[in-house]
Amino acid sequence: MIEKTSSAAAPLIFVEISSAWEEDNETETTEALPSWLPDPAFCENCLSAGISLLRRRDLKSAPHQDDATQSSSVESPLSLPRTYEISIRFAESAESKQLNATYRGRNNSTNVLSFPIAEETAQWLTPLDISDPGNAEQANSEVAPLGELVLCPSIIESEAIAQHKSLEIHWAHLLIHGLFHLLNFDHINEEDAEEMESLEIETLRSLGIPNPYLLD
């Protein structure tokens, strides 16, 4: 089981889930109901762990402060970025394939697709940004949408079996992988891939999950 971390006590990301297998869905599903789908609490726990990691990293990289000020800033909610929301879609392989072809030019279904909210301004407020009183007030009064994750359960299940991983652990990894894509991390070149994998590994470790790249 995935550990309940401090991030799960008060989610930093709130999710809204839609599914191809919902009873009121007008589109006929051709795939069998997946054997297991994560609930909102599971998703929020995994995704919040990723946000929590980035917050800690940003705080460490902030300009040096005296011990008293630094301690206060770490413990005070006012020193942290705002909360976020993500839409999650559980899609059949045909839907995943169509989206992948339309938006990425790839004619196959895939485990997770990330669709960030397109904004010219940064989606992420760092401790440096919210040192300004106006930004701090805004950060703590809004829930900012990050975008949508589309996950394909049939692909995820087959990958978990092939890689000899538990289904729950593989879902956690792909949720976190998708989150970092929403936050503009990528793995196109080797340097970026190493950074993104490092963030995924550290986030999963905080949830009690070993390095997934050693299990492939």
Within a domain: 136:
yes
Q: What is the C-alpha to C-alpha distance for residues 200 and 160, in angstroms, rounded to an integer?
A: 17
CATH number at residue 76: 3.40.390.30
Q: Spell out the per-residue pLDDT of the chain, length 216, in tens.
A: 565 544 445 789 999 999 999 876 666 778 999 999 999 999 999 999 999 998 888 777 655 545 444 444 343 333 445 788 999 999 999 999 999 999 999 999 999 999 998 654 444 544 444 444 455 455 555 678 899 999 999 999 999 999 999 999 999 999 999 999 999 899 888 898 999 999 999 999 999 999 998 855
pLDDT value at position 138?
Answer: 54
pLDDT value at position 6?
Answer: 41
Q: What is the C-alpha to C-alpha distance for residues 167 and 11, in angstroms, rounded to an integer?
A: 23
pTM comes to 0.81
Within a domain: 65:
yes
Identify the domain containing residue 104 by its residue range: 6-22+34-214
- How many structural domains are present in the chain? 1
Within a domain: 76:
yes
Within a domain: 84:
yes
Within a domain: 1:
no
Within a domain: 27:
no
Q: What is the C-alpha to C-alpha distance for residues 183 and 3, in angstroms, rounded to an integer?
A: 24
pLDDT value at position 141?
Answer: 54
**Pair type for strands 112-116 and 143-151:** antiparallel
Within a domain: 29:
no
Q: What is the CA radius of gyration of the chain?
A: 18
